[in-house]
Amino acid sequence: MSTSPVPAIEVAGLRKTYRDQAVLHGLDLTVPAGTVTALLGPNGAGKTTTVSILSTLLPADGGTARVLGHDVAQDPQAVRRLIGVTGQLSAVDPLLTVTENLRLVADLFHLPRAEGRRRTTELVDRFGLGEAARQRAQRLSGGMRRKLDLAMTLVGDPRVVFLDEPTTGLDPRARRDLWDQVRALVASGVSVLLTTQYLDEADQLADRVAVLHDGRLVAHDTPAGLKEAHAAGSLDDVFLALTAPATSGTLTTPEARS
């Protein structure tokens, strides 16, 4: 008798409040293993808070969250061994070279020196950083620095990767280069939870899209399923429909107010 694989992420009734402001209101979300789920929502919807809780950086006020079956509150060390996180702020040390940044992370993971060097060489080749390997990171372009950031996330060979708005500020070519790296990750069996402000990015990369609004999950489906359900031509249209202000049935635009 076959058994279903353990989901990459399971969230049930997740709640978080900052002072008197509720940020997450009982969030339920499942990310199947080996897939990309894009977590969308307006600023302040709770996306980064969700990632912070799942990556053990922030405690929840209620509910449960598991990563590959491990409870993030009860077994955070096990979770940390399984995950990688690329946040909105780069973890790259600008004064170190590309190679030195990667070896530093290998040391933080307590990899044997030979293994750390092997892993560094592998990631330099994989991300096309060979010509820049001896350059200080401060001299890299934005796209190259973001590639290095993701490469550093992968030094520990994570099985679940959190990407929090990884392509913000990148030009179209650099964004597509990063998309290719994400697709390669998933092809190797890694699971990805992606937050992004770019709806085309979610459409291109995600197997499923979850939309947060005011700390609540208001939709969760494939990109095609969401567009069909809302008779929409794009995820932009879906997003606007789902996150329209509660005081009106439509989104008020500057043009409508003028």
List domains and CATH numbers for the chain: 9-91+160-248 (3.40.50.300)
Residue 232 to residues 224, 236, 254: CA-CA distances in angstroms?
10, 8, 22
Q: What are phi and psi of 239, to 5 degrees?
A: -60, -45
Q: Read off the pTM.
A: 0.88
pLDDT attached to residue 19: 86
Total residues belonging to the chain: 258
pLDDT attached to residue 169: 83
Alpha-carbon torsion, ordered 92, 47, 192, 32, to 10 deg: 160
pLDDT attached to residue 200: 92
Q: Which two tokens stand for residue 177?
A: 């280069």
Residue 113 to residues 105, 150, 157: CA-CA distances in angstroms?
12, 21, 16
Alpha-carbon torsion, ordered 157, 162, 164, 165, to 10 deg: 70
Element (H, E) at 150: helix 142-153
What is the distance of C-alpha 119 from the center of its chain?
22
Q: Which two tokens stand for residue 109?
A: 């993971």
CB 190 within 8 Å of CB 161: yes
Instruction: Look at the block and give the residue holding tokens 């937050």.
Output: 195
CB 40 within 8 Å of CB 193: no
CB 23 within 8 Å of CB 16: yes
**Mean pLDDT, 10 residues at a time, over the chain (258 residues)?**
76 94 94 96 91 95 97 96 87 94 94 95 93 94 91 95 90 90 93 93 95 93 95 92 66 32
**Hey, is 106 helix, strand or coil?**
helix
- Spatial neighbors of 130 by CB under 8 A, at least 6 apart, are 124
